[in-house]
Amino acid sequence: MAAGTVSVPFDIYRYEPGKDSAPRYQRYTLTLTPHTPVLTALLQIRSEIDPTLGLRYSCRSAICGSCAMQINSKSRLACETQVGPEFERHGRIVLEPMRNQPVLRDLVVDQSPFWREYHKIEPHLKLDPRRPMPEGKPTPMTPAEVERFKETPRCIACAACYSACPAAEADPSFPGPMALAKLYRFAVDPRDTAHDERLLRIQPNGLWLCLRCHLCTEACPKDVRPSERIRDLKEMAIAVQGGTEHGSKHAVGFKENLKGAGQLHEMKLVRATFGLGGMVGQVGQGIRVWRKKPEIMKRPRPIDGLDELEKIYEALDPPPKEGP
Protein backbone atom coordinates (compact mmCIF):
# COMPACT_ATOMS: atom_id res chain seq x y z
CA MET A 1 0.00 0.00 0.00
CA ALA A 2 1.38 3.42 -0.94
CA ALA A 3 2.40 5.68 1.94
CA GLY A 4 -0.43 7.80 3.30
CA THR A 5 -3.15 5.52 1.93
CA VAL A 6 -5.66 3.33 3.71
CA SER A 7 -7.62 0.28 2.68
CA VAL A 8 -11.26 1.32 2.91
CA PRO A 9 -14.16 -1.15 2.75
CA PHE A 10 -17.32 0.24 1.14
CA ASP A 11 -20.64 -1.51 1.73
CA ILE A 12 -22.94 -0.26 -0.97
CA TYR A 13 -26.68 -0.71 -1.21
CA ARG A 14 -27.64 -2.56 -4.39
CA TYR A 15 -31.24 -2.92 -5.48
CA GLU A 16 -33.18 -2.72 -8.65
CA PRO A 17 -36.93 -2.91 -7.97
CA GLY A 18 -38.69 -5.32 -10.29
CA LYS A 19 -35.45 -7.19 -10.95
CA ASP A 20 -33.94 -7.96 -7.55
CA SER A 21 -36.04 -9.76 -4.95
CA ALA A 22 -34.52 -7.78 -2.07
CA PRO A 23 -31.86 -5.13 -1.46
CA ARG A 24 -28.35 -6.34 -0.62
CA TYR A 25 -25.07 -4.74 0.34
CA GLN A 26 -22.06 -5.29 -1.86
CA ARG A 27 -18.55 -4.82 -0.52
CA TYR A 28 -15.80 -3.13 -2.51
CA THR A 29 -12.43 -2.39 -0.96
CA LEU A 30 -10.26 0.42 -2.29
CA THR A 31 -6.87 1.77 -1.33
CA LEU A 32 -7.26 5.52 -1.01
CA THR A 33 -5.78 8.61 0.52
CA PRO A 34 -7.95 9.82 3.44
CA HIS A 35 -8.94 13.05 1.72
CA THR A 36 -10.48 11.26 -1.28
CA PRO A 37 -14.11 12.31 -1.74
CA VAL A 38 -16.66 9.49 -1.50
CA LEU A 39 -17.84 10.36 -5.02
CA THR A 40 -14.34 9.89 -6.43
CA ALA A 41 -14.23 6.46 -4.78
CA LEU A 42 -17.61 5.58 -6.30
CA LEU A 43 -16.46 6.61 -9.76
CA GLN A 44 -13.34 4.49 -9.31
CA ILE A 45 -15.49 1.51 -8.34
CA ARG A 46 -17.65 2.05 -11.40
CA SER A 47 -14.81 2.46 -13.87
CA GLU A 48 -12.46 -0.18 -12.49
CA ILE A 49 -14.55 -2.80 -10.67
CA ASP A 50 -18.25 -2.73 -11.38
CA PRO A 51 -19.80 -0.74 -14.24
CA THR A 52 -23.32 -1.77 -13.14
CA LEU A 53 -23.32 0.41 -10.00
CA GLY A 54 -26.09 3.01 -10.27
CA LEU A 55 -25.39 6.52 -9.03
CA ARG A 56 -26.30 10.08 -9.86
CA TYR A 57 -23.75 12.90 -10.03
CA SER A 58 -22.71 15.82 -12.15
CA CYS A 59 -20.53 18.74 -11.05
CA ARG A 60 -18.31 17.06 -8.41
CA SER A 61 -18.03 20.47 -6.75
CA ALA A 62 -20.98 20.66 -4.31
CA ILE A 63 -22.87 22.98 -6.62
CA CYS A 64 -25.32 20.84 -8.60
CA GLY A 65 -26.77 18.88 -5.66
CA SER A 66 -26.99 15.60 -7.61
CA CYS A 67 -24.94 13.21 -5.49
CA ALA A 68 -26.75 13.36 -2.12
CA MET A 69 -26.93 9.95 -0.47
CA GLN A 70 -26.67 8.38 2.98
CA ILE A 71 -23.08 8.04 4.09
CA ASN A 72 -22.91 5.97 7.27
CA SER A 73 -26.58 6.91 7.87
CA LYS A 74 -26.04 10.66 7.47
CA SER A 75 -27.54 12.44 4.46
CA ARG A 76 -24.61 14.08 2.70
CA LEU A 77 -23.20 15.06 -0.70
CA ALA A 78 -20.79 12.33 -1.80
CA CYS A 79 -18.58 14.86 -3.58
CA GLU A 80 -17.75 16.86 -0.47
CA THR A 81 -17.52 14.05 2.09
CA GLN A 82 -14.01 12.69 2.50
CA VAL A 83 -13.46 9.00 3.17
CA GLY A 84 -10.87 9.48 5.94
CA PRO A 85 -13.01 10.68 8.85
CA GLU A 86 -15.86 8.30 7.93
CA PHE A 87 -13.53 5.31 7.83
CA GLU A 88 -11.85 6.35 11.03
CA ARG A 89 -15.14 6.63 12.90
CA HIS A 90 -16.94 3.59 11.50
CA GLY A 91 -14.22 1.27 10.20
CA ARG A 92 -16.09 1.09 6.90
CA ILE A 93 -18.25 3.29 4.71
CA VAL A 94 -21.87 2.28 4.24
CA LEU A 95 -23.49 3.99 1.27
CA GLU A 96 -27.24 3.94 0.85
CA PRO A 97 -29.70 5.90 -1.25
CA MET A 98 -31.44 8.92 0.27
CA ARG A 99 -34.45 8.16 2.44
CA ASN A 100 -38.06 9.19 1.95
CA GLN A 101 -37.86 8.82 -1.84
CA PRO A 102 -38.40 5.51 -3.68
CA VAL A 103 -35.29 3.76 -4.97
CA LEU A 104 -34.95 3.57 -8.76
CA ARG A 105 -31.68 1.67 -8.75
CA ASP A 106 -28.87 1.33 -6.20
CA LEU A 107 -28.02 4.86 -5.02
CA VAL A 108 -30.44 6.59 -7.38
CA VAL A 109 -33.83 7.68 -6.02
CA ASP A 110 -36.98 9.00 -7.61
CA GLN A 111 -37.08 12.58 -6.38
CA SER A 112 -40.70 13.24 -7.33
CA PRO A 113 -41.98 13.46 -3.72
CA PHE A 114 -39.38 16.14 -3.01
CA TRP A 115 -40.11 18.18 -6.14
CA ARG A 116 -43.88 17.78 -5.77
CA GLU A 117 -43.71 19.60 -2.43
CA TYR A 118 -41.41 22.24 -3.89
CA HIS A 119 -43.86 23.06 -6.67
CA LYS A 120 -46.79 23.07 -4.26
CA ILE A 121 -45.44 26.07 -2.39
CA GLU A 122 -45.33 28.01 -5.69
CA PRO A 123 -41.71 29.08 -5.45
CA HIS A 124 -41.95 32.21 -7.54
CA LEU A 125 -42.73 35.86 -6.88
CA LYS A 126 -46.42 36.64 -6.81
CA LEU A 127 -46.93 40.22 -7.79
CA ASP A 128 -49.99 42.35 -7.35
CA PRO A 129 -51.46 42.66 -10.88
CA ARG A 130 -52.55 46.17 -10.04
CA ARG A 131 -48.97 47.16 -9.32
CA PRO A 132 -46.83 45.50 -12.00
CA MET A 133 -43.07 45.77 -11.78
CA PRO A 134 -41.90 48.73 -13.83
CA GLU A 135 -40.78 47.33 -17.15
CA GLY A 136 -37.10 47.53 -17.89
CA LYS A 137 -36.34 48.97 -14.47
CA PRO A 138 -34.88 47.18 -11.46
CA THR A 139 -36.86 46.86 -8.24
CA PRO A 140 -34.28 47.73 -5.65
CA MET A 141 -34.24 46.18 -2.20
CA THR A 142 -32.43 47.56 0.82
CA PRO A 143 -29.54 45.57 2.31
CA ALA A 144 -31.71 45.01 5.40
CA GLU A 145 -34.46 43.51 3.24
CA VAL A 146 -32.00 41.19 1.51
CA GLU A 147 -30.58 40.24 4.90
CA ARG A 148 -34.00 38.92 5.91
CA PHE A 149 -33.72 36.10 3.35
CA LYS A 150 -30.94 34.85 5.57
CA GLU A 151 -29.20 31.78 4.18
CA THR A 152 -32.11 30.49 2.09
CA PRO A 153 -30.93 31.54 -1.41
CA ARG A 154 -27.91 29.24 -1.03
CA CYS A 155 -30.08 26.11 -1.37
CA ILE A 156 -28.98 23.78 -4.20
CA ALA A 157 -32.03 21.49 -3.90
CA CYS A 158 -29.98 18.37 -3.21
CA ALA A 159 -32.77 16.91 -1.03
CA ALA A 160 -30.36 15.88 1.75
CA CYS A 161 -32.69 17.67 4.21
CA TYR A 162 -35.71 15.79 2.89
CA SER A 163 -33.84 12.52 3.25
CA ALA A 164 -32.92 13.32 6.86
CA CYS A 165 -36.40 14.46 7.90
CA PRO A 166 -38.25 12.15 10.34
CA ALA A 167 -41.52 14.06 9.82
CA ALA A 168 -41.40 13.45 6.06
CA GLU A 169 -40.62 9.80 6.81
CA ALA A 170 -43.61 9.31 9.09
CA ASP A 171 -46.09 11.57 7.36
CA PRO A 172 -46.02 12.18 3.60
CA SER A 173 -48.27 15.21 4.05
CA PHE A 174 -45.31 17.14 5.47
CA PRO A 175 -43.75 19.31 2.73
CA GLY A 176 -40.24 18.82 4.06
CA PRO A 177 -37.52 21.25 5.08
CA MET A 178 -36.42 22.51 1.67
CA ALA A 179 -39.90 23.48 0.45
CA LEU A 180 -40.57 25.33 3.71
CA ALA A 181 -37.21 27.13 3.65
CA LYS A 182 -38.03 28.17 0.10
CA LEU A 183 -41.44 29.33 1.23
CA TYR A 184 -39.76 31.46 3.88
CA ARG A 185 -37.60 33.05 1.18
CA PHE A 186 -40.75 34.29 -0.59
CA ALA A 187 -42.64 35.08 2.62
CA VAL A 188 -40.05 37.75 3.49
CA ASP A 189 -39.42 39.04 -0.03
CA PRO A 190 -40.62 42.66 -0.06
CA ARG A 191 -41.60 42.36 -3.74
CA ASP A 192 -43.92 39.42 -3.12
CA THR A 193 -47.54 40.31 -2.38
CA ALA A 194 -48.86 36.92 -1.26
CA HIS A 195 -47.16 36.68 2.14
CA ASP A 196 -50.24 36.04 4.25
CA GLU A 197 -51.83 33.78 1.67
CA ARG A 198 -48.63 31.69 1.55
CA LEU A 199 -48.55 31.37 5.34
CA LEU A 200 -52.18 30.41 5.68
CA ARG A 201 -52.07 27.92 2.85
CA ILE A 202 -49.19 25.98 4.38
CA GLN A 203 -51.09 25.34 7.62
CA PRO A 204 -51.87 23.07 9.36
CA ASN A 205 -50.07 19.98 8.05
CA GLY A 206 -47.38 21.98 6.35
CA LEU A 207 -45.82 23.93 9.11
CA TRP A 208 -46.75 22.36 12.38
CA LEU A 209 -45.55 18.84 11.63
CA CYS A 210 -41.95 20.08 11.82
CA LEU A 211 -40.40 18.39 14.84
CA ARG A 212 -37.63 21.00 15.19
CA CYS A 213 -35.22 18.08 15.46
CA HIS A 214 -32.73 20.09 13.37
CA LEU A 215 -31.62 17.00 11.43
CA CYS A 216 -32.19 19.00 8.23
CA THR A 217 -29.87 21.73 9.44
CA GLU A 218 -27.16 19.14 10.13
CA ALA A 219 -27.64 17.51 6.73
CA CYS A 220 -27.68 20.71 4.65
CA PRO A 221 -24.39 21.14 2.75
CA LYS A 222 -25.02 24.86 2.27
CA ASP A 223 -25.97 25.82 5.83
CA VAL A 224 -29.43 26.97 4.79
CA ARG A 225 -30.65 26.04 8.30
CA PRO A 226 -34.17 25.02 7.24
CA SER A 227 -35.30 24.16 10.79
CA GLU A 228 -34.61 27.71 11.95
CA ARG A 229 -36.48 29.23 9.03
CA ILE A 230 -39.44 26.93 9.74
CA ARG A 231 -39.42 28.34 13.26
CA ASP A 232 -39.58 31.85 11.77
CA LEU A 233 -42.51 30.79 9.60
CA LYS A 234 -44.36 29.47 12.64
CA GLU A 235 -44.06 32.79 14.44
CA MET A 236 -45.10 34.64 11.28
CA ALA A 237 -48.12 32.33 10.85
CA ILE A 238 -49.23 32.97 14.43
CA ALA A 239 -48.90 36.72 13.83
CA VAL A 240 -51.19 36.42 10.79
CA GLN A 241 -53.72 34.00 12.17
CA GLY A 242 -53.20 33.54 15.91
CA GLY A 243 -53.50 30.10 17.50
CA THR A 244 -56.05 28.32 15.35
CA GLU A 245 -54.47 25.00 14.38
CA HIS A 246 -53.46 22.34 16.89
CA GLY A 247 -49.81 23.33 16.40
CA SER A 248 -50.22 27.06 16.75
CA LYS A 249 -52.76 26.59 19.56
CA HIS A 250 -50.23 24.49 21.42
CA ALA A 251 -47.42 27.02 20.95
CA VAL A 252 -49.60 29.97 21.98
CA GLY A 253 -51.20 27.90 24.76
CA PHE A 254 -47.78 26.96 26.13
CA LYS A 255 -46.72 30.60 26.13
CA GLU A 256 -49.84 31.59 28.09
CA ASN A 257 -49.59 28.54 30.35
CA LEU A 258 -46.07 29.46 31.39
CA LYS A 259 -47.20 32.96 32.33
CA GLY A 260 -49.59 31.49 34.92
CA ALA A 261 -47.12 30.05 37.42
CA GLY A 262 -43.76 30.25 35.66
CA GLN A 263 -43.95 26.46 35.42
CA LEU A 264 -45.88 24.22 33.09
CA HIS A 265 -49.40 23.18 34.14
CA GLU A 266 -49.52 19.95 32.14
CA MET A 267 -53.23 19.20 32.18
CA LYS A 268 -54.24 22.79 31.49
CA LEU A 269 -52.06 22.78 28.39
CA VAL A 270 -53.63 19.62 27.01
CA ARG A 271 -57.03 21.24 27.49
CA ALA A 272 -55.90 24.46 25.76
CA THR A 273 -54.69 22.52 22.73
CA PHE A 274 -57.41 19.93 22.27
CA GLY A 275 -60.34 21.73 23.90
CA LEU A 276 -62.65 19.90 26.27
CA GLY A 277 -64.25 17.95 23.41
CA GLY A 278 -60.91 16.87 21.98
CA MET A 279 -59.79 15.69 25.40
CA VAL A 280 -62.39 12.92 25.35
CA GLY A 281 -60.17 10.95 22.98
CA GLN A 282 -57.30 11.36 25.43
CA VAL A 283 -59.15 10.11 28.49
CA GLY A 284 -57.93 6.49 28.35
CA GLN A 285 -54.32 7.56 27.97
CA GLY A 286 -54.77 10.26 30.62
CA ILE A 287 -56.01 7.75 33.18
CA ARG A 288 -53.18 5.32 32.37
CA VAL A 289 -50.60 8.05 32.97
CA TRP A 290 -52.41 9.54 35.99
CA ARG A 291 -52.45 6.18 37.81
CA LYS A 292 -48.65 6.13 37.72
CA LYS A 293 -47.98 9.85 37.77
CA PRO A 294 -50.76 11.63 39.67
CA GLU A 295 -48.81 14.92 39.47
CA ILE A 296 -50.11 15.52 35.94
CA MET A 297 -53.34 16.82 37.49
CA LYS A 298 -51.57 19.04 39.98
CA ARG A 299 -51.39 22.79 39.69
CA PRO A 300 -47.70 23.75 39.78
CA ARG A 301 -46.37 25.88 42.62
CA PRO A 302 -45.84 29.43 41.32
CA ILE A 303 -42.17 30.36 41.05
CA ASP A 304 -40.65 33.11 43.14
CA GLY A 305 -40.38 36.32 41.17
CA LEU A 306 -43.40 35.55 39.01
CA ASP A 307 -43.96 39.31 38.78
CA GLU A 308 -40.64 39.60 36.90
CA LEU A 309 -41.88 37.12 34.37
CA GLU A 310 -45.14 39.02 34.00
CA LYS A 311 -43.21 42.22 33.31
CA ILE A 312 -41.09 40.45 30.68
CA TYR A 313 -44.29 39.33 28.97
CA GLU A 314 -45.66 42.87 29.13
CA ALA A 315 -42.54 44.22 27.46
CA LEU A 316 -42.00 41.57 24.80
CA ASP A 317 -45.34 39.89 24.23
CA PRO A 318 -47.92 42.64 23.90
CA PRO A 319 -51.46 41.43 23.14
CA PRO A 320 -52.20 41.28 19.40
CA LYS A 321 -53.64 44.46 17.92
CA GLU A 322 -57.39 44.47 17.31
CA GLY A 323 -58.19 43.63 13.70
CA PRO A 324 -59.92 46.19 11.47
Position 84 contacts other proteins (CB under 8 A): no
With respect to other proteins, which residue has the nearer C-beta, 2 or 287? 287
Give CA separation, 122 vs 126, 146, 163, 189, in Å.
9, 20, 21, 14
Contacts of 168 (CB under 8 A, 6+ apart): 100, 113, 162, 174, 176
Position 234 contacts other proteins (CB under 8 A): yes
Beta-carbon neighbour count of residue 312 at 10 Å? 11
With respect to other proteins, which residue has the nearer C-beta, 68 or 209? 209
With respect to other proteins, which residue has the nearer C-beta, 1 or 287? 287
Position 292 contacts other proteins (CB under 8 A): yes
Position 215 contacts other proteins (CB under 8 A): yes
The values of phi and psi at residue 13, to 5°, are -65, 125
Helix (H) or strand (E) holding 179: helix 177-187
CB of 256 to other proteins, least distance (A): 9
Helix, strand, coil shares, percent, the chain, to 5: 45, 10, 45
Position 235 contacts other proteins (CB under 8 A): yes
Q: Are 81 and 160 in contact (CB under 8 A)?
A: no
Stretch touching other proteins by CB under 8 A, among 31-39, 40-48, 193-201, 253-261: 253-261
CA atoms within 13 A on the CB side of 33: 5
Q: Which residues bind other proteins (CB under 8 A)?
A: 72-74, 89, 166-167, 169-171, 204-205, 208-215, 217-218, 225, 227-228, 231-232, 234-235, 238, 243, 245-248, 250-252, 254-255, 258, 262-264, 266, 269-270, 273-274, 285, 288-289, 292-293, 295-296, 298, 300, 303-305, 308-309, 311-313, 315-317
